[in-house]
Amino acid sequence: MVDAEKDAAVAPTVDIAPTKHVDPTLENHGHDADEAMKVFEDIHGEAIELDEATNRRLLRTIDWHMMPIMCCVYGMNYLDKTTLSYASVMGLKQDLNLQGDQYQWLGSLFYFGYLAWEYPTNRLLQRLPLGKYSAACIVIWGLILACFAAVENFSGAIAIRIFLGIFESAVTPGFALITSQWYTKKEQGSRVNIWFSFNGVGQILGGVVAYGIAIGTKHHGSSIAPWKIVFLFTGVLTVVLGLIFLWIVPDNQLNARWLKKEDQVLAVARVRVNQQGIGNKHFKMYQVKEALLDPIPWAFFFYALIADIPNGGLTNFFSLLITGFGFTAEQSLILGVPGGVVEVIALLLNGYVGHITNQRLLSSLGGLATAILGVILVVALPESYNVGRLIGYYMTQASPTSFVALLAMISSNVAGYTKKTTVAAMYLIGYCVGNIIGPQTFRPKDAPHYTPAVITIIVCYFLSLCITVFIWWWYRRENARKAEIQARPDYVRLENQEWLDLTDRENPDFIYAL
């Protein structure tokens, strides 16, 4: 778990007394201000002090209530997507009579559903109660996954995969919004790395469970196919976690049942430094236009598209790739587990280094560089070096570090609630397109080594590295420009501007995390 005391120790004492300067050019924002504004209207300008000890106590309380369930759900989010890969070597392809490239299309169709619903779900995350809507999506996707056990043909599998993508599309943007709502910019990077690292935990759990089911049914038999048991287990577990999520995770600080009334106000006050607020349900077209004209959201989009071509391929084909190294189908299930361990270590280390250096983007490049080296090993080593090629595959599992760093940047560096949901949608639309393309690079004629797909992965990782460096350079330049604006003698700060739902480009006091 996160070191809450270390995070809180660097947090300054916060005085909640309202600012006296008013910029008349921005006064029209007051009528559609952030939900947090009503808190400070209710206390009629009373000054509230948030000292270091209180901040540390609140952070510890928030961490222990929010992080465990977010981590578990996100682990299932990954496991539920990769269940298809485990099932592929447990008899699914034969039982459903999949021919030609039908299995590749099952890998891609999940992301067609994800893509179709990504922008609508981001709008719903803004309009509907955040915690309740997210929980509903988790429960429904678990029920759909369990229904895969009843599928008997390719057509039924298509329907399940598409609807699974639709309801899972709320999880990543929803968790990014929750993180930005509850944590300061300083804290957000490490928290996103922690809950995203449970992708690796999901891979570990999935490999162990699938291997145990495969061995158990082989020796003792089963009334239903082993791959169906995998879908039932993961689906039911997801439903249970969704119900726990509904009970624990509130819509915002103001209806958190596990915080006392005065602590609810303080939990809002502690994130005032973010200059982002805690939520705004008003749709603002000008913020959508700003997102579309800002080069950084497009850099996010193209990064996600390019970086997730490898992800889409490896997520659905890693079991088949491992069997191509010369291992049996059963061995491939358990040999996928160390890949999850590598991902967990890479993301936690990335979060720690980024936190202590305040250079999240640059520190994330280490994971991409490791992945590039790993893919080169897979391609360059002779076929007789199966263990070396397997180690190369494990090294590719460090690749999500930059993806997670940019996801955290959406929490930290995009302000204006409509703009934030729009940028999150753009990022995850790119993610969907990349994951749709990825499985198609693994052509049946290239089995079992899939060399063209592996070369494509190397190119994509290198381009992703270049885009990450560009984003870092742009943010650094923008921070210098904002420092010049703040230094002008005629600059005045708007009263309560952090609660007025200003965008990051509108607000000169908004400093980008690097």
- CA nearest 140: which of 242, 282, 246, 273? 242
pLDDT of residue 288: 94
pLDDT in tens, 282-318: 889 999 999 999 999 999 999 999 999 988 777 766 7
pLDDT of residue 218: 75
pLDDT of residue 125: 92
Question: What average pLDDT does the segment 229-250 reach?
Answer: 94
Cα 512 to Cα 275: distance, rounded to the nearest angstrom: 11
> What amino acid occupies position 140?
I
pLDDT of residue 479: 94
**Cα dist from 394 to 199, 202, 214, 349, whole Å:** 14, 15, 22, 16
Q: What CATH number has the domain spanning 37-499? A: 1.20.1250.20
Lowest mean pLDDT among 162-171, 319-328, 414-423: 319-328
178 vs 494, higher pLDDT? 178
**Cα dist from 4 to 67, 74, 266, whole Å:** 12, 21, 16
| Domain ranges within the chain, ordered by starting residue | 37-499
**Cα dist from 238 to 59, 67, 133, 220, 307, whole Å:** 27, 16, 15, 27, 27
**Residue 282: alpha-carbon gap to chain centroid:** 24
pLDDT of residue 44: 47
pLDDT at 96 over 80: yes
Percent of the chain with pLDDT over 70: 88
pLDDT at 430 over 70: yes
- pTM to 2 decimals? 0.83
222 vs 70, higher pLDDT? 70
pLDDT in tens, 186-209: 899 999 999 999 988 988 888 788
441 vs 373, higher pLDDT? 373
Helix (H, G, I), strand (E, B) or coil at 15: strand
What is the signed CA dihedral for 280, 252, 479, 32, rounded to 10 degrees?
20
pLDDT of residue 241: 96
**Residue 66 CB partners (closer than 8 Å, separation 6+):** 178, 182, 248, 249
pLDDT at 353 over 90: yes
Lowest mean pLDDT among 56-70, 249-263, 360-374, 486-500: 486-500
Percent of the chain with pLDDT over 90: 45
Helix (H, G, I), strand (E, B) or coil at 49: strand
CB 127 within 8 A of CB 76: no
> What amino acid occupies position 481?
R
pLDDT at 215 over 90: no
Cα 122 to Cα 283: distance, rounded to the nearest angstrom: 11
Cα 318 to Cα 89: distance, rounded to the nearest angstrom: 11
pLDDT at 324 over 90: no
Q: What is the DSSP letter of 26?
A: G
Helix (H, G, I), strand (E, B) or coil at 78: helix
- 14: enclosing H helix or E strand: strand 14-15
- CA nearest 454: which of 442, 464, 469, 472? 442
Q: Name 14's bridge partners.
A: 50
pLDDT in tens, 254-269: 899 999 988 988 998 8
**Residue 126 CB partners (closer than 8 Å, separation 6+):** 279, 280, 281, 283, 417, 418, 421
Helix (H, G, I), strand (E, B) or coil at 450: coil
CB 180 within 8 A of CB 188: yes
pLDDT of residue 247: 96
pLDDT of residue 26: 47
32 vs 467, higher pLDDT? 467
pLDDT of residue 19: 40
pLDDT of residue 86: 77
Question: What average pLDDT does the segment 155-171 reach?
Answer: 93
Q: What is the DSSP track for 257-325?
A: TTS-HHHHHHHHHTTGGGSS-S------HHHHHHHHH-HHHHHHHHHHHHHHHHHHHHHHHHHHHHHHT
pLDDT of residue 43: 55
pLDDT of residue 3: 58
pLDDT of residue 384: 80
pLDDT of residue 225: 86
131 vs 102, higher pLDDT? 131
Output the six-digit token pair for 250. 């509130």
pLDDT at 15 over 60: no
pLDDT at 22 over 80: no
